[in-house]
Structures are given as structure tokens and as C-alpha cells.
Amino acid sequence: MEQAAFPFLERTILTVSELSERIKIVLEDTFFDIWVEGEISNLRTPSSGHSYLTLKDEHSQIRAVLFKMQRRYLRFDPKDGMLVLARGRISLYEPRGEYQLVIDYMEPKGIGALQIAFEQLKVRLVQAGLFDASRKRPLPMLPRCLGIVTSPTGAVIRDMLQILRRRFANLHVCVYPVRVQGDGAAEEITQGIEVLNRYAGIDVIIVARGGGSLEDLWAFNEEAVARAIYASKVPVISAVGHEVDYTIADFVADVRAPTPSAAAELVIRSKAELHAEIQGVAQRLERAIQHRLETLRARLEACQQRRVLKDPWAPLHTIEQRLDELNAHLARAIRARLRLAQEALERDEAAIAHLSPLMLVGLLRARLTALEQRLIAAQGGQVHHEREDLERLTATLQALSPLAVLARGYSICRHQADGRVIREAQAAAPGMHVDITLWQGSLQCTVNAVMTKGSGDARTDI
């Protein structure tokens, strides 16, 4: 039977990398600009500055990444649990084969990013101590030179200059022109504060701007402006917006003015008011001086009537007489003191003579001689006594000595083989060799017969 031929289908084989590349192209072409709403979780930002997070809802989640460059433009600081709107594109992370959302822009949902950024910066600067009331400085009573950081073309600067000219025409004003909104405004404001601080004549700095929305006033909410105000060597007045508007600069500044015009009135008092106050002080000073002169004149007249002023030498004569008396008393006291010292010296010399080393050595030598004689006598008596004891003990020892017994005719018999003392006749046997110790010398003998005590019988060896 002929086998049917089946045509082989052509197969396309892809590597894992090729498949991942195609999926990545499809995802990026399809989802290249999308908005995603979700809750932030597992947020982490390593030392590279990139932020890695997960966006989730009740049923699903997706990994996301916010690169360092895009993160720099966020108006707020993302946190776990925050509900956000993220704009970006879907891409594939090929090393793990996971798709992820690459975020280009992100904003909080429900509340504006600027408001959140405002609150976050406010909390951070409070913790850093920039709002502490203890560091705020008072304004000088009469500044010589005023520095103003504001727009040179707005109505704000015209109103402020008009008020300053009306209140105190002699005040010197330095205006540093800046942009007060838009890109680069914060940098210019920061630079203006730093430049005016380097100008030696500036006594006060006003940072001013008219009213506007939160976005319009945002340049005064930047951390760089707050740091510049904090680092200022001279007091700073913040006059930004209307009375209801509050910015970070208001909290850091030494004084907050509700409006720029109010700042101009606050920084310098009216020249007429100062002149009137000076006149009042001058009148009070004149009255005080007049009263003081009258008091001193009365005291002078009273002093002129005192006796000491009429006869000024009288007290000196009394003092001279008292001085003579004291000199005489001092001379008597010195003589008495010398006499007592002489008597004490004589007593000390007598005591020293009595305690002379030569006298003490003589006394000790005589005592030593007496002690030597007593010692010699005591030694002689002790030797005699001990000699008598020795003779007595010697006699006793001689009486108890075995030699004394032997001298009376006794002897000691020992077995010649082992030196054992033979005390009984029964311990010997005929033919035994024995040694007999006498008072003088010894004998070597052989036993011929053994006789027991109380018996005339003798035991012999045959």
C-alpha cells in the first residue's frame, strides 16, 4: 500500500529575546500615551534616584517606574497609599519578561499637586527649624537704606515707592528687579536676596508681589527662596499677595505684611510722626534737666552751710592727733611684743641646752654600762644554774645507762647470726654461736649446755 505524503508546515522559531522584542514593540506602539489611575504601593527610591512602585486598585496591579529626570519635575513627593493619576507608556522589561508603566507625569487625584507640594515643603521646613519664632529679628526703628525684591514694572513697586516717599522722603531705596512668576522666577528672587545681603548699607529687605492664584504665587513657595530668606543677614519682610494669601516665604520671613503697601508703611514710620515724637522727647528731656539742676543747686546751698566746708583744716587736725596716739600705741605694742619674744627665746635656749645631744649621749652611755654589768651578772648566774642541772642529769643518765649495769658485772648475750638479744636460756641451744657484750669488750662463745631456771637439769646436744 502506498504511503500518503503529508506536507510539512513551515515553522517560525523565535528566541526568547526576539519574542520579548516583538511584544515590547506591540505594547509601546499600542499604549504609547495613556493615563492610569491607581494607588501607590511598594514605593522605593534607591541611590540611583529612580523610583520603582506599584499602581493598584481593588482587583489588579501593575509595576511602574519613574525615572530620575521625570521625578525632578513633580510638584509633590509621592508616598505609599496616595491615589494618583499617572501619564506614561507601557513597556516591557526584557530581563524579567514583565511589562511596566513608564511614568512621564504624575499628579495626586482629588487635590492639586501644588497644594500637596506646599504642605509637604511646609512640614519639612518646620522640622528643619526655618519657622522658629525665636530666630525672627525685630525691624530697625529707622532704616537708612531699604532693599526691595520685586517686579520693576508692576503696580506694586509704584505704590510702595509712593508710600515711602510720602512717609519719609530721605529714605534710600534699592530695587532689585526680578520676575515674580513663571520659570526662573524663584532663582531670580533667591539671587536678589543674596545680592542685597552683600550690599553693606541695606538695613531691611522687602520681598513683594501682588495677588494671584496659587500657581502665580508659586515662586515664593520654592525651597530655594525660603532658604535664602532664612540665611539673610538682615531682617526680611514678606509682602506677597493679598491678606488671605499665605506663602512659604511668609512663614520664614522675620515679618509678614498682609500687602506690599502695608509693608511700605510697616518698614518706616512717618517723618512727621517721628518729628513730633522727637519734639515731645526733647521737651520731656528739658523738663528733666531743669528739675535736676534745681535739685543740685539746693544740695550745693546745703553743703555750703556745713562746718566742714567752712573750716576744712579742722578734720585734718583731729586726724593728725589721732595718728600720733596710734603711733605711740603701736610703739608700746612693739616693745611689749619684743620683750615677750625675748623671754620665749631664752626659754627655748634652755630647753635646747637640756636636750643637747652630748648630754643625751652621756646619759645613754651610763645606762648602757649599767645594762652590760647586769647582763654579765645575769649570764654568770644562769651558767652556774645550768651547770648544776647538767651535772644532775649526767648522774641520772649514768645511773640509767646500760654500761653502768655492765660495769657491775652484767653482760648482754646476742645471737651471733642475727644479733637478736637472748633473754631466756630456752632461746639458746647447745652448739649455738653467741656474742657476749661486757663492760669493756665482748666475747664470741659457743653454747655447750643449756640450763633452765630453778632446775639443775641441763639440756645438751648429743
What's the pLDDT at 460?
47
Instruction: Provide the grid cell at 415.
Output: 645471737
Proportion of the chain above pLDDT 70, given as a percent: 90
Average pLDDT over residues 383-404: 80
- What pLDDT digit, counting tens, does each position of 158-212 carry? 989 998 888 887 889 999 999 998 888 999 999 999 999 998 889 999 999 988 7
Could you report the per-residue pLDDT of 438-450, keeping only the tens digit for each?
A: 878 888 899 888 8
Per-residue pLDDT band for 454 (boundaries 50, 70, 90) equals low
Sorting pLDDT into bands at 50, 70 and 90, what band is 359?
Answer: confident
Cell representation of residue 462: 648429743
The 10s digit of each residue's pLDDT in 26-59 is 887 888 889 998 888 889 999 888 999 999 888 8
Q: Which three cell numbers stand for residue 412?
A: 648482754
Question: pTM of whole model > 0.85?
Answer: no
Predicted pLDDT of residue 101: 92
What is the grid cell recorded at 156?
A: 506694586
Task: Kindly state the helix (H) or strand (E) to which residue 37 belongs, with its residue range.
Answer: strand 34-44
Residue 358 has pLDDT above 90, yes or no: no
- Does residue 349 register a pLDDT over 90? no
Strand order in the sheet with 433-437: 412-415, 433-437, 442-446
- pLDDT given for residue 390 in this prediction: 86
Domains annotated for the chain, with CATH where assigned, are 16-110 (2.40.50.140), 133-269 (3.40.50.261), 407-459 (no CATH)
Look over the chain and give the mean of its residue pLDDT values, rounded to a whole number.
84
- Is residue 70 exposed (0-12), middle (13-18) or buried (19+ Cβ within 10 Å)? middle
From residue 151, alpha-carbon distances to 119, 188, 261, 300, 455 in Å are: 27, 11, 14, 66, 165
Cell triple for residue 230? 532664612
Alpha-carbon dihedral sign for residues 108, 110, 114, 116: negative
pLDDT of residue 253: 93
pLDDT band at 147; cut points 50, 70, 90: very high
Is a pLDDT exceeding 70 seen at residue 411?
yes
The C-alpha cell at 256 is: 509678614
Q: Which three cell numbers stand for residue 392?
A: 644532775
Q: pLDDT of 283-319, one tens digit each?
A: 889 889 988 988 888 888 777 777 666 667 767 777 8
pLDDT of residue 270 exceeding 60, the answer is no
